[in-house]
Amino acid sequence: MNIVVLSRNSNLYSTRRLIEEGESRNHDIEVIDPLKCDLIIERERPSIYYKDRLLDYVDAVIPRIGASVTFYGCAVVRQFEMMNVFTTVTSDAILRSRDKLRSFQRLSKVGIGMPKTVFTNYSRDVEEVIERVGGTPVIIKLLEGTQGLGVVLAETRNAAESVLEAFNG
């Protein structure tokens, strides 16, 4: 099989391991930076060019789309989907996974237990927001952020108020 790993960095451990495992099974594996892809949008024959080379030989795609390139990375995955190329993760799944609020709502709807959580766009009554989750200590998160960035443990009300005020500007 001709497999493309969409990754900005072929030296990442996870990307290297995918290459090693694919090659050990006699697949042809190529790492492609999604930001260097040109997407040709047309009804009859959607296509992708990578560094002036038409990617019409790809059998499967393994997306490794970082949070900082979600928009265009998902557009590239979606283009492969439009070309009827198998992808291990769909563009919609990647987009859904990056939306913390949607993820929490979906998990709650299907009965998966999680700590009581409050999402607020902006509340001037910080005390009330803290009370809604049962008081301190509280974990405060930005809606966007990955790998622990934008996450703070506030052990006291004063700390929580300071963090919320800083996050809200």
Domain range summary for the chain, segments of one domain joined by +? 2-96, 100-168
CATH topology of domain 2-96: Rossmann fold (3.40.50)
Q: What percent of the chain has pLDDT over 90?
A: 56
Q: List, for the chain, all residue ranges whose pLDDT scores fall below the cut of 50.
A: none
Alpha-carbon span 73 to 96, nearest angstrom: 14
Give the pLDDT of residue 115: 80
**Can you give the pLDDT at residue 19?**
97
Long-range contacts at 84-90 (CB < 8 A, ≥ 24 apart) = 85/58, 85/59, 85/60, 85/61, 86/59, 86/60, 86/61, 87/60, 87/61, 87/62, 87/63, 88/60, 88/61, 88/62, 88/63, 89/62, 89/63
pLDDT (0 to 100) of residue 149 = 66
Q: With 0.85 as the threshold, say if the pTM is over it.
A: no
| CATH number given to 100-168 | 3.30.1490.20
